[in-house]
Amino acid sequence: MKKKLLFSSGRILLSTHLKHLLLLLMFVAFSQTGLAQTYNMSNAAVSTCSGTFYDSGGIGTTLTARYANNESFTKTFTPATAGNKLKVVFTLFDTEEGFDGLMIYNGNSTAAPLLSSGAAVGGNATTCPAGAFSGTTLPGTFTSTAADGSLTFVFKSDTSGRAGGWAATISCEAPVTTAPNCAGGYSPATGATAIAMNPTLSWTAATGGPTSYDVYFGTSATPPFVVNQTGLSYTPPAPLLANTTYYWKVVAKNSFGSATGCSTQSMTTGSSLTYCATSYSSGTGSGDFIGLVQIPGTTLSNATVGAASPYYTLYPQAGTTTASLQKTIPYTLQVKGGTYSTCYISAWVDYNGDGVFSTTEFVGVSPNCGSSTLVNLTTSLIIPNTAVLGTVRMRLRSSDTSPGASSAQSCGAANSGYGETEDYLLTVTAAPSCFAPSAVTASSVTPNSATISWTAGSPAPSGGYTYEIRTSGAAGSGASGLVTSGSTAAGVTTVAIAALNPNSEYSIYVRSFCGGSDYSIWTAEVVFDTPCNPTTVLPSTENFEGSASCWTVAPITGNNWGLYTSIGTEVPSAHNGSAFAGIAWASGVSTDALLISPPYNISANGNAQTRVKVWVYRATTGVAADRITILVNSSPGITGASTVLNLPRLITQAPTVGAAGWYEYTANIPLSFNGSTFYVMARGVEGGTSSNYSLGLDDFTLEFTPPTVGSFTPSNICASGNDAARTITITGTNFIGTTAVKVNGTDVQSFVVNSSTQITAVVSAAATSGTVAVTGLGGSATSAGSLAIYQNYDFYADNDNDGFGAGAPVSLCSINGTTAPAGYRTNNSDCNDNQLQYLDADGDGFGSTTLVACGVTNNSDCNDNQLQYADNDADGFGSTILVACGVTNNSDCNDNQLQYLDADGDGFGSTTLVACGVTNNSDCNDNQLQYADNDADGFGSTILVACGVTNNSDCNDNQLQYLDADSDGFGSTTLVACGVVNNIDCNDNQLQYADNDADGFGSTILVACGVTNNSDCNDNQLQYLDADGDGFGSTTLVACGVVNNTDCNDNNNAINAAFSFYADADGDSYGAGDLISGICAVDGSTPPAGYSLNDMDCNDSNAAIYQTVLLYIDSDNDGYTTGATESVCYGASIPSGYAAANIGIDCNDNVAAINPGHAEVLYNGVDDNCDGQLDEGFQIT
CATH number of 438-529: 2.60.40.10
pLDDT at 25: 40
Instruction: Give the number of other CB atoms < 10 A from CB of residue 105.
Output: 22
Kindly give, in sequence order, each residue whose CB lies less than 8 Å from that of residue 408, ignoring residues fewer than 6 positions away: 120, 121, 359
Amino acid at residue number 370: G
pLDDT at 1181: 34
- Cα separation, 597 vs 593, in Å, equals 13
Topology given in CATH for the domain delimited by 14-173: Jelly Rolls (2.60.120)
- Cα separation, 141 vs 118, in Å, equals 15
| Cβ-contact 123, 282 below 8 angstroms | no
Q: Which residues in the chain show pLDDT less than 70?
A: 1-36, 60-65, 1177-1181
Residues, the chain: 1181
Q: pTM, whole model, 2 decimals?
A: 0.40
| Cβ-contact 834, 798 below 8 angstroms | no
- Cα separation, 802 vs 839, in Å, equals 13
CATH superfamily of 290-429: Macroglobulin (MG2) domain (2.60.40.1930)
Helix (H, G, I), strand (E, B) or coil at 785: strand
Same topology between domain 540-704 and domain 708-792 = no
- Cα separation, 631 vs 640, in Å, equals 10
Which of 666, 557, 647, 659 shows the shortest CA–CA distance to 609?
Answer: 666
Q: What is the CA radius of gyration of the chain?
A: 59
- Cα separation, 681 vs 985, in Å, equals 99
Q: Give CA separation, 203 vs 117, 186, 216, in Å.
A: 17, 4, 13
Helix (H, G, I), strand (E, B) or coil at 249: strand
- Cα separation, 699 vs 714, in Å, equals 42
pLDDT at 974: 93
Which of 718, 736, 734 shows the shortest CA–CA distance to 726?
Answer: 718
Kindly give, in sequence order, each residue whose CB lies less than 8 Å from that of residue 24, ignoring residues fewer than 6 positions away: 59, 60, 61, 63, 91, 92, 167
Task: Give the DSSP H/E element, type plus range, for residue 591.
Answer: strand 591-596
Instruction: Give the number of other CB atoms < 10 A from CB of residue 621.
Output: 15
pLDDT at 4: 29
Question: Class for domain 708-792, per CATH?
Answer: mainly beta
Which of 1091, 1138, 1087, 1129 shows the shortest CA–CA distance to 1111?
Answer: 1138
Q: Are strands 930-931 and 944-945 parallel, antiparallel or unpaired?
A: antiparallel
Instruction: State the DSSP code for 240.
Output: P
Spacing of C-alpha 468 from chain mean position = 47
Hey, which CATH number is domain 540-704, 2.60.120.200, 3.20.20.70, 3.40.109.10, 2.60.320.10?
2.60.120.200
Determine the Cα angle at 900 with ends 895 and 901, to 5°.
Answer: 135
- Cα separation, 872 vs 892, in Å, equals 10
Please give the backbone phi and psi of residue 695, each rounded to the nearest 5 degrees, phi first.
Answer: -120, 150
E runs forming strands in 237-389? 245-254, 257-258, 264-269, 290-294, 301-303, 312-314, 324-326, 330-331, 334-337, 344-349, 362-365, 374-376, 381-382
Please measure the distance between the N-terminal and C-terminal CA atoms of the chain and give it in whole angstroms. Answer: 67
Strand partners of residue 234: 201
Amino acid at residue number 536: T
Q: Which percentage of the chain shows pLDDT scores above 90? A: 67
pLDDT at 36: 59
Which of 203, 238, 241 shows the shortest CA–CA distance to 219?
Answer: 241
**Can you give the residue ranges of every domain in the chain?**
14-173, 184-269, 290-429, 438-529, 540-704, 708-792, 1057-1105
pLDDT at 1171: 86
CATH number of 184-269: 2.60.40.10
Helix (H, G, I), strand (E, B) or coil at 672: helix
